[in-house]
Structure 1
């Protein structure tokens, strides 16, 4: 095991001389050292040396260091990414202690990113961890160019939209995610992402060409392992921005039953974002907010073309009561899904989230809905 790499605070847009040197060394190196092979043996066996090398070369930003970000950071650092920058402009408060495992009572009053970074670093001293205490929405677009993936967690909708616009300018992959008590979401904008799916070859020949409205098959190869013939299918997913997605409807080809099966959580999350934009905050457990949220959710359900019966008073009551809560089990589930998806994206393996996963912890459901711009629909 290598000696611990000191946590570095990042005040300027660059990662610092130490991180730049490390990144440069990673880019030029085509092999992983013997001790790294031993450390990451299990996952190298799972997804291969090439995928592990891509992860080792990746620089990732996580903005917003609350419970969800804790889970994502933990999984990414343990996987052996190239570097992690944690960003948060807020200080640790007592409410953070209930669900966030990188901070303790001694950290109350200390910046969240600064407080969490040492514990993150201890998980894997090989991965440089950098600190940025600025607000992510104050960063110029060029700031994001040095990252391979930008992950924004537990931010308001306007901040998520702003950062996504910036990452698109820089051609950087983007995730946004948040938890609201028992509920939450993950949104992915991976631009144009290619990946490989390994599967047992069927009797039907795989045809190259458009597979869905967002995905196409580019190429296929075959190999025999023992008595089994395997097929490697290279695909490409094309994504839209978050601003385009939230202005779209569900797939016009969906039948009414499928529209209903997305549950109340889809219009609920979309209504919460609109509520945030209208009132500048999350809804609270008051009669006025229940009424206002019901109105917004009713309008959203109609706008995205899902059945009006999904606007249920029981769901709204639980959703609004939970909106400002932070629960570690929900953060663990969503954080695990998000981190694994990011790892798969770096490894260029498996089907990534396309493009909105909504989570309803009350009924243990996590449907994924493809939302594309209306222009693409037409």
Structure 2
């Protein structure tokens, strides 16, 4: 495997990515090597995702994050140290990321969230976003969808975390169909999934829905998004909980959980980041390789109960 063409791996790459090739195959590894991922908001959760994606062997990644590191950022972040305090989180992450895999090109983009446009988005295969307001997240999601790019939004709140994916109006992938662990024949089938953008999902009219069947965190996310959209400000610890719940039917039972989420909005725990980050990293690999089932379109993790829930886009 000496060729360096885009459709082949070098001997060095084949050796470096041997484990990945055994897991998802040579074709998937080549697709990874041809892919570029844009990460927006480099918090602790995102550091776990970046680790998994970089080790998998994408071509390049870009970071957008102007946040200045504080001591509270250090508890769940893989790439920061005490010497990072007072410096830009994106800049301080680069050296550690490069050490993970020198073959991956790592770039910091000196941009504000409001500067991101179609010209930038269209350069990347996947856009993964965290640590931003719902309104900013919806804006980037819509840009990604407009340019037919894959989008993931993810956050963790204390013992809880989630991710949302929008892979466009139609996402097609190949699934192996075997009946035995070592079958005589392996059959492949093509599957198409249809995704909804974040603003449509979170703007759902809960009066038309049986709230008892709703994952609690999805209900909370919808409340927070609709409050931010109508009041043009973020929910914080000073927000009136009663005001948030008044217009939502069957919402009283969520009062305590809503208080907990608001309390933990800016709190990250390393174990939760590792679990959710591992899932998101794996999902990005599946999205790029298109050779396995993908989650459409919400994943929720509750660390207090050890509970995982997924929600399809037909709610």
CA contact (8 A) 1:137 1:163 kept: no
CA contact (8 A) 2:203 2:222 kept: no
Match of 1:78 among 55, 77, 84: 55
Q: Give the C-alpha shift of residue 367 in structure 1.
A: 1.5
Q: CA RMSD in A?
A: 2.4
CA contact (8 A) 1:164 1:242 kept: yes
Q: Calculate the TM-score normalised by the size of structure 2.
A: 0.90
Measured in 2, the distance between the counterparts of 1:249 and 1:233 equals 36
SS at match of 2:274: helix
Where does residue 322 of structure 1 map in the other structure?
Answer: 264
Measured in 2, the distance between the counterparts of 1:88 and 1:310 equals 37
Please state if 1:151 is matched with 2:167: no
Where does residue 190 of structure 2 map in the other structure?
Answer: 234
Q: Give the C-alpha shift of residue 309 in structure 1.
A: 6.2
Deviations along 1:101-157, whole A, 9 cap, x unmatched? 201111111111101111111100010100113122322221111100011112110
Uncovered stretches (5+) of structure 1, i.e. residues with no partner: 1-24, 203-224, 303-307
Match of 2:245 among 281, 288, 294: 294
CA contact (8 A) 2:204 2:222 kept: no
Matching of residues 52-63 of structure 1 within 5 Å: 52-63=29-40
Where does residue 280 of structure 1 map in the other structure?
Answer: 233
Deviations along 1:130-187, whole A, 9 cap, x unmatched? 0113122322221111100011112110001111111122111111111122223211
Matching of residues 142-221 of structure 1 within 5 Å: 142-191=119-168, 192-201=170-179
Match of 1:265 among 217, 224, 239: 217
Measured in 1, the distance between the counterparts of 2:235 and 2:274 equals 22
Measured in 1, the distance between the counterparts of 2:54 and 2:251 equals 43
Rg bigger for which structure?
1
Count the aligned residue pairs: 310
Measured in 2, the distance between the counterparts of 1:332 and 1:169 equals 31
Match of 1:115 among 83, 92, 96: 92
Measured in 2, the distance between the counterparts of 1:227 and 1:30 equals 28
Q: Calculate the TM-score normalised by the size of structure 1.
A: 0.76
Match of 2:17 among 30, 37, 40: 40
Uncovered stretches (5+) of structure 2, i.e. residues with no partner: none
Q: Give the C-alpha shift of residue 243 in structure 1.
A: 1.9
